[in-house]
Structure 1
């Protein structure tokens, strides 16, 4: 009897802590940012092409993210500005076609909140960053019968630390990140 209970406990622990792969749904996800312009207003934009994969439990805990964002896909609703952002003055997309992020740490901070730390590589520079996360909800998709999770990640990066754009009074140094994700369990 003791062996049966022990075996059952082990399998229960393994099932609870099992990790699976989750992929972002590009049609229902957005990698957005905002930066101060002329110290009086905020300009928003987003990256239209990205691949975000996570490994997490069914409750989307202990998440590890792998992110690849295509710098050529930057969009601020202004073609002239977008072309300038793609140039050597900012993202230098020919030389640095991707922004990447890989999780190095996860900490649960509340019932549906967490922080992740990781290595962000942008413009050839890798620095540690911390993002705040919130699980908006988890459902079973009626079509696939697999789990889907809604998440929001936020944080701030200093663009000068990554060599993006020069030191100028027309732009703020800090870039606010807002990433809304719909992740599908694979």
Structure 2
């Protein structure tokens, strides 16, 4: 791990994405995203297993490719995300297990649609630095992937009957790209 300081890191929202896919009728992996989310990370490169992450997603920020009229309202409505009753999706890490030089499994309490269950993210540390003259704060980046069954969170509308693909898959796959800004670059005192 490069020379990055331990401490509190905040999400650089202009360098982050949160995309998810579901199988649609067995014909495609329909892809959508959330545009409003935030995360706070406490990171220690010497002890990555002691790191903690908290993230919040606004379900009303659902972004869809070429949605038909009313489709976003349907998906954020009572049959699906029910954003009026459940205005936040959250993830709070409970365990970080280092699996390689730049990889870890991060388990957390994932709250969606009023239900909280554990979800595991496979995380890759993409690198970082302690700071740069044009960016005088530490910066680190991660990629993460995970999956869960939406029916486990009370969103079972449209799940295909057993043995068919007629509907929208229960399984949801998530892909996250992030950069975090951290402690200020340490400056050496003038000689």
Q: Name the TM tier (shorter chain).
A: 0.7 to 0.9
Determine the structure 2 residue equivalent to 1:92: 82
Judged with a 3 Å threshold, the aligned counterparts in structure 2 of structure 1 residues 99 and 115 are, in CA distance, closer, same or farther, namely same
Quote how far apart the aligned CAs of 1:61 are.
2.1
User: Alpha carbon RMSD of aligned pairs, Å?
Assistant: 1.8
Higher helix share: 1
Determine the structure 1 residue equivalent to 2:164: none
Report the number of matched residues.
Answer: 170
Answering whether residue 179 of structure 2 is matched by residue 182 of structure 1, we say yes
Contact kept, 8 Å, 2:122 with 2:146, in 1: the verdict is yes
Quote how far apart the aligned CAs of 1:82 are.
1.8
Judged with a 3 Å threshold, the aligned counterparts in structure 2 of structure 1 residues 141 and 173 are, in CA distance, closer, same or farther, namely farther
Determine the structure 2 residue equivalent to 1:65: 53
**Cα distance between partner residues in 2 of 1:142 and 1:109:** 33
Question: Secondary structure at the residue paired with 1:171?
Answer: coil
Match of 1:47 among 31, 34, 48: 34
Structure 1 unmatched ranges of 5 or more:
1-15
TM-score, normalised by the number of residues in structure 1 = 0.85
Quote how far apart the aligned CAs of 1:58 are.
4.4
Structure 2 unmatched ranges of 5 or more:
161-166, 184-191
Judged with a 3 Å threshold, the aligned counterparts in structure 2 of structure 1 residues 161 and 147 are, in CA distance, closer, same or farther, namely same
Contact kept, 8 Å, 2:52 with 2:94, in 1: the verdict is yes
Match of 2:103 among 113, 137, 143: 113
Judged with a 3 Å threshold, the aligned counterparts in structure 2 of structure 1 residues 25 and 67 are, in CA distance, closer, same or farther, namely same
Determine the structure 2 residue equivalent to 1:146: 137
Quote how far apart the aligned CAs of 1:167 are.
4.7
Judged with a 3 Å threshold, the aligned counterparts in structure 2 of structure 1 residues 22 and 60 are, in CA distance, closer, same or farther, namely farther
Determine the structure 2 residue equivalent to 1:30: 17
TM-score, normalised by the number of residues in structure 2 = 0.83
For residues 35-56 of structure 1, the C-alpha deviation after alignment (integer angstroms, 9 at most, x for no partner) is 1001121110111001111101
Q: Which range is displaced more, 138-147 or 31-40?
A: 138-147
Contact kept, 8 Å, 1:20 with 1:58, in 2: the verdict is no
